[in-house]
Amino acid sequence: MNTQKVISGFFFILAMTVNFGFFYGDPANLEYHSAYELFAAIVVNLIATILKLGDKTQLGSVLLATSLVADIQLIASATVWAFAVYVSKNVGLESAVAIISLSGGALIANFVSVLLFIGDTLKSKR
């Protein structure tokens, strides 16, 4: 068993699952989506990104790219939320849908990342 692999695998998959947890539910209704879950998704995604840093291989670069995409989408989602609450003073339907769909995009990036990770693991003989 490779500890490094366990740790990175853990964070990659957790990033995806937490992301899914936030995304799942009626996209028009923010009541079904917990801000804590979005926060957790952002933190776990950032950690996953750091873990992917420094791998100079082809696969490492693609993994890093997917992670960066997920980070940007999730942070954008949180920013839209904060903007809706504090600047426009009401969270309307439009902002609710934007928040959820942005996190949906991040989910796909995370999904790709996990797929690549699993594919690489299956390929290696050790």
Partner 1 sequence: MDSSNTIWIIIRRMRIPFLVIIVTFAISILGLTLIPGMDDQGHPYKMTFFDAFYFVSYMASTIGFGEAPYSFTYPQRMWVSACIYLTVIGWFYGIGSIVALVQDKRLAREIDLARFRNKIAGLREPFTIILGYNNITHRIIDWLNDEGIRVVVVDRDEEKITALELENFIPEVPALTADVTHPETLKMAGIHKRNCQAVVSLFEDDVKNTKIALLCRLLNKRIKLVIKSTTRTQSEHLKNLGVRYIEDPFLFVSNRLYLALTSPSLWLLEMWIFGHILKIREREELPKGHYIICGYGRMGHALERAFKKAQISYSYIDIKSTQYKEEKSSAVFGDAEDYRLLMEAGVKEAAAIIAATKDDLINLTILSTAKKLNPHIYTIGRENTIDDVTIFRSARINRIYILEMILAEFTYLFIARPLAYRFVRLLHTKDEKWGRQIVEKMHEVLGENPMHFEITLDEDHAYALARELKKGRRITLGDLRRSREDRNKTYPILCLLAKWDEKRYEMIPDDSLPLEEGMRLLMASDEESRSDFEYIVNNYYELEYVLTGKG
Binding site for partner 1 (CB under 8 A): 35-36, 38-39, 43, 46-47, 50-51, 53-54, 56, 78, 82, 85-86
Q: Mind giving me the DSSP string for 45-72?
A: HHHHHHHHTT--SHHHHHHHHHHHHHHH
Give the shortest CB-96-to-partner 1 separation in angstroms: 16
Give the shortest CB-125-to-partner 1 separation in angstroms: 26
Give the shortest CB-39-to-partner 1 separation in angstroms: 6
Cα separation, 120 vs 46, in Å, equals 21
Residue 6, token pair as written in the block: 């366990």
Cα separation, 28 vs 90, in Å, equals 14
Between 65 and 108, CB nearer to partner 1: 65
Give the shortest CB-122-to-partner 1 separation in angstroms: 26
Nearest to 12 by CA among 47, 57, 42, 40: 47
Between 9 and 108, CB nearer to partner 1: 9
Identify whether the C-beta of residue 114 lies closer than 8 Å to the C-beta of residue 16. yes
Between 17 and 115, CB nearer to partner 1: 17
Between 56 and 89, CB nearer to partner 1: 56
